[in-house]
């Protein structure tokens, strides 16, 4: 069955807005795990506007489920205490790394890799991550060309960027985007790549997405889930997502 990995960045955004330790990223992770989440995702950025290296250190010390660290592998150290993506991953030893082509100041991930341009730079990075025991996922657009290069340079899986699907679904016309996601997933599977998905998935569109794109290994959901949890509570919201996954993806 599809695994739910909860992205905790928005908990850190709220904490950082006051400059103290509340709400606690660590405690939020414990609530998510107790509610049945199969993974925790964090996306530290060089400006440290949300998740920070210390958060990752704390999570790694106890987390019994998969830790997924997202980020641009070419982001280097900064004067603000960010050690650089690769050094942070080496220190943390996550089960999975999701690589994204974000610029340092980008608000959120909004496009996947163009492997016609990026494959050469990514190949040695992927090899290094895998030597540390990380499964490597590449953030890719639905309909992306060059998926063969993802397999050729050593990626284990892709994460389909689902933002365009979510936007079309909300407008009442998600069919074409859903089919594009499905065909991308099929092509990836044929190449031996696992398929993850993430960005703007929520309780309204997740079931339709999983029914339309069978075989998704993991969904990474943060912004919507944390927003919905403000009204319903964190544990009940995680449980609601798990019910949606079970109903759409009973295998």
Q: Please, how many CA atoms are within 13 Å of residue 121, restricted to the half-sphere of its CB?
A: 14
> Is 43 among the catalytic positions?
yes
Alpha-carbon gap, residue 164 to 185, rounded angstroms: 15
> Is 70 among the catalytic positions?
yes
Closest to 122 measured CA to CA, from 86, 175, 169: 86
- Those residues whose C-beta lies under 8 Å from the C-beta of residue 32, and which sit 6 or more positions away, are 6, 8, 40, 234, 235, 238
**3-class state of residue 202 by DSSP:** coil
Q: Is residue 29 a contact partner of residue 59, using CB atoms and an 8 Å limit? A: yes
> Is 199 among the catalytic positions?
yes
- 95, two tokens: 């089960």
Catalytic annotation, pick one of 50, 70, 218, 228? 70
Instruction: Residue count of the chain, please give it.
Output: 251
**Peptide linkage before 79 cis (omega within 30 of 0):** no
Catalytic annotation, pick one of 199, 217, 218, 228? 199
Strand 39-42 to 194-198 pairing: unpaired
Catalytically active residues, by annotation: 43, 70, 199
């Amino acid at each position: 069955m599809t695994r739910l990995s909860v992205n905790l960045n928005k908990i850190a955004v709220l904490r950082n807005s006051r400059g103290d330790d509340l709400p606690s990223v660590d405690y939020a992770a414990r609530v998510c795990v107790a509610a049945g989440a199969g993974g925790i995702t964090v996306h530290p950025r060089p400006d440290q506007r949300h998740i920070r290296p210390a958060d990752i250190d704390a999570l790694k010390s106890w987390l019994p489920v998969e830790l997924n660290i997202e980020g641009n592998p070419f982001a280097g150290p900064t004067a603000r205490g960010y050690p650089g993506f690769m050094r942070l991953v080496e220190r943390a030893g996550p089960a999975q790394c999701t690589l994204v082509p974000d610029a340092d100041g980008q608000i959120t991930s909004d496009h996947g890799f163009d492997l016609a341009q990026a494959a050469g730079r990514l190949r040695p990075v992927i090899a290094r991550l895998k030597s540390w025991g990380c499964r490597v996922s590449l953030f890719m657009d639905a309909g992306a060309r060059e998926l063969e290069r993802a397999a050729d340079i050593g990626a284990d899986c892709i994460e389909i960027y689902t933002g365009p699907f979510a936007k079309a679904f909300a407008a009442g016309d998600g069919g074409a985007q859903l089919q594009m996601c499905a065909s991308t997933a099929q092509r990836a599977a044929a190449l031996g790549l696992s398929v993850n998905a993430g960005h703007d998935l929520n309780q309204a569109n997740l079931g339709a997405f999983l029914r339309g794109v069978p075989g998704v290994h993991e969904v990474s959901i943060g912004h919507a889930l944390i927003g919905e949890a403000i009204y319903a509570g964190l544990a009940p919201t995680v449980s609601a997502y798990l019910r949606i996954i079970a109903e759409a993806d009973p295998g």
